[in-house]
Amino acid sequence: MSRVASTTAPKGALIPARHPKAPAIGSKIPSHFGHCFGCGDLHPTGLHLVAHAGEGADLTAEFLVTQDHQGAPGLAHGGLLSLAFDEALGKLMWLIRSPAVTARLETDFLKPVPMGTTLHISAQITGQVNRKVYTSAEGRLDSPDGPVAVRASALFVIVPMAHFLDNAPKAYLEHISKHPELLAFVDPDFEINP
């Protein structure tokens, strides 16, 4: 049996420095892909999660739970709530300008999240060791100071941009090359330092 990776930063892990080209404090962090179910504006039933850069290695995000996000009648589906946290925590990578993939995500559900509720998420990087980036977040109901409904933590692993491009269908990459507005992360200055 293999060891399960922890989402808790180990002793000695450092908070990475904010990249000089990170989104400005308070600015909206772009969607990495217009059709992303988590943050894409072009997905018809997606979460449409919107995140704003914080002052350090942190951000705030929110999304409105709609009828398309239900599990039990009138309540957000737990898997979609996990997706919202995966998306918010993943957007932290914009602050250090490192493409990364989720290696592990842990989600604790403390209260039901009703349809019509706006979930306010605060997320931060809690440490980095080489290519491993540790993160945590909590989600509050209807305001940044509302009751905590969900907590999550995740471990991300920094990968080369080729990881995403090499695993996409060739026909889709051709389509995207003709419609660059679909990809927000295409940036010739995007640095990859694993």
pLDDT of amino acid 33:
76
Chunked into runs of 10 residues, the chain (194 residues) has average pLDDT values of: 82 94 93 78 87 97 94 95 96 93 97 97 97 98 98 94 69 68 50 38
* pLDDT value at residue 186: 45
Q: Nearest-CA neighbor of 29 among 49, 52, 46?
A: 52
The pLDDT score that the predictor gives to residue 127 is 97
pLDDT tens digits, one per residue of 55-78: 999 999 999 999 999 999 999 999
Residue 163's CB is within 10 A of a number of other CB atoms, namely 13
Domains of the chain: 28-182 (3.10.129.10)
Provide the pLDDT for residue 100: 92
Predicted local confidence at residue 53, as pLDDT:
97
Q: How far out from the chain centre does Cα 16 lie?
A: 17
pLDDT at 1 (0 to 100): 64
**Residue 89: which of 25, 145, 154 has the closest Cα?**
154
The SS3 assignment for 96 reads helix
Can you read off the two tokens belonging to residue 50?
Answer: 């919107």
Q: What is the pTM of this model?
A: 0.86
Confidence at residue 19, expressed as pLDDT on a 0 to 100 scale: 93
Please give the Cα distance from 111 to 15 (Å, whole number): 30
Q: What's CA 90's distance to the chain center, in Å?
A: 3
Question: Which pLDDT value is given to residue 164?
Answer: 63
pLDDT for the residue numbered 24:
95
How confident is the model at residue 180, as a pLDDT? Answer: 63
